[in-house]
Amino acid sequence: MDFVMLHGTSQTPACWHPLQTILHQHGHQTFAADLTSTEDWQAEDYATEVHRQFPNTETPTIIAHSGAGLLAPATATKLNANHIVWIGALIPDLTGTMSMMEELADHGEDMFPPEWFQWSGADLLTEQAVSAYFLFHDCDLEQLKFALTTLRLFQPQATFNQRHQHHDLPGHTVIVPRQDRVIRPEWMCRAAQERLGTEPTVIDGDHCPHIPRAQEIADIILRRA
């Protein structure tokens, strides 16, 4: 099986190494996209870039973390994916009714805890205590040392302003970390049910469970993807 991985807005593709190692041990191929901020690119443009990086994947499973959830539907369509796995991810309104920025304006504190709005993305890169608190508080010391090396800001701003409209998407697995300090777990669970028509899998963990809980994530993916 092929897995195409989309990192979130605060990490590099290196964040997937623990999960990739386990999937490789099971005989699967993984492709970790390297995404950089491009001011005017919408989700379809990022999907085209992922296809350019990995043109030979065959009906892959898309794994998207955090803000890359906004890219997952378009990437799944472009790559003819057979499944999407959302990990601590934003799930857009797929009816084209409301952009993520419009939703934030109306319901921001339903989606994010109040303390999240006190920090900018740059703080995650320059203040290790902030990064550890919001992103990696489930890590042990060795995992944290690795996690901090994966930090990089990725801001696909146009996709947050975009109204996403998608039909006939493949099946979904939504993994919600119950101790997430970035995106409210309650919002992710509700979005999974209302927007994807699927029941989420709720696990212990922080916003980036693919590092400290890579084995658990792999078990869920291999069981359901």
Percent of the chain with pLDDT over 70: 98
pLDDT confidence of residue 106? 86
**Residue 66: how many other CB atoms lie within 10 Å:** 25
Domain 2-224: CATH class, spelled out: alpha beta
Q: Is 66 left (phi over 0), alpha (psi -120 to 50) or beta?
A: left
Residue 207, C-beta contacts closer than 8 angstroms, at least 6 positions apart: 66, 88, 134, 135, 136, 177, 180, 181, 182, 183
Residue 14: closest CA among 188, 194, 164, 208: 208
Average pLDDT score over residue span 118-122: 68
Asked if residue 92 lies in contact with residue 64, where contact means CB atoms within 8 angstroms, the answer is no
pLDDT over threshold 70, residue 218: yes
The Cα 207–Cα 86 span in angstroms is 12
pTM of the model: 0.95
Q: Which band of pLDDT confidence, cut at 50, 70 and 90, is reported for residue 157?
A: very high
The identity of residue 144, as a single letter, is L
Q: Where are the domains of the chain?
A: 2-224
Q: What angle do CA 44, 12, 215 make, to 5 degrees?
A: 100
**Residue 108: how many other CB atoms lie within 10 Å:** 13
Q: Which residues of 27-47 are buried (b: 16+ CB within 10 A; e: fewer)?
A: ebbbbbbebeeeeebbbbbbb
Q: What angle do CA 82, 87, 93 make, to 5 degrees?
A: 75
pLDDT confidence of residue 132? 94
Q: How much is the mean pLDDT over the chain?
A: 94
Average pLDDT score over residue span 5-14: 96
**Residue 207: how many other CB atoms lie within 10 Å:** 21
Sign of the Cα pseudo-torsion (47, 151, 5, 139, in order): negative
